[in-house]
Amino acid sequence: MRILLYLALLALGQPIAQAHDIVLISGGPALRSFERYRTASHDKYWGNFIDSAILRAKELQLTVAPTDQIVWLVFRPSYQRRSQEDQDDYLKILEERGLKAGITPIYFDNKTQLFTLLRRDGSKEKPKISRLEYFGHSNKKCWMFDYSNRVDGGALEPLVVHVDDLDQISGKSFTSNAECISYGCHSGEEFSQRWRMIVGRPMIGAVGKTDYSEGGIPKLSTGKGGTWAF
């Protein structure tokens, strides 16, 4: 679609606007079997981070520049394991939902793959990122793609992006006015500030918890001191 638009603008002799990517990242759900003894259980519904990203894509499609593209990155292993647990094909379901919304998931299996997908040089093949939004579990130091889903000898390397990993994400991959938001819990307590310091772009994050239980874009959980912060 973007290539066809370039060709049409060239044929009309119109100036070609710089193309950018809008990146939405969906982390994965917890396994229900790992949540049975928790007083506050997570992810009774498997698709919180899928539905919120799809709804956000629909909102953005109303205002996005015609040369820009929404890129949807999804952490695949969580949905594979939750599919096995629930005996349902969640990858197929999320792909069908994405198709109806006009977006196609691009899967990543670990943070190294994610860093590669976020590496941009501003070319037609790798446009810079003008907006990045994360939907998933987090704490103040990490994006947690696979919260309580896999126990791997304590080795969390493939499952989280820690603040100490942020030097793997270059600010040069983003436009100078890029907007970034993390809809995970507690991101605004440290992760956002470290992102701005290391990546060089501001990121909005939650002080306190976020709530996906009502569907759609997550809200701040009701509680003392909850707010959004840079």
User: pTM for the complete prediction?
Assistant: 0.88
DSSP secondary structure string for all residues of 137-151? EE-SSEEETTTTT--
Domain boundaries along the sequence of the chain: 16-33+41-229
Task: State how far the Cα of 152 lies from the Cα of 51, in Å rounded to an integer.
Answer: 28
Output the six-digit token pair for 94: 């999320």
Encoded amino acid at 156, one letter: L
Q: pLDDT value at position 146?
A: 80
- Give domain 16-33+41-229's CATH number out of 3.40.140, 3.90.550, 3.40.50, 1.10.3470: 3.40.50
- Residue 19 contacts residue 67 (beta carbons within 8 Å): yes
Share of the chain above pLDDT 90, in %: 73
pLDDT for 9 beyond 70: no
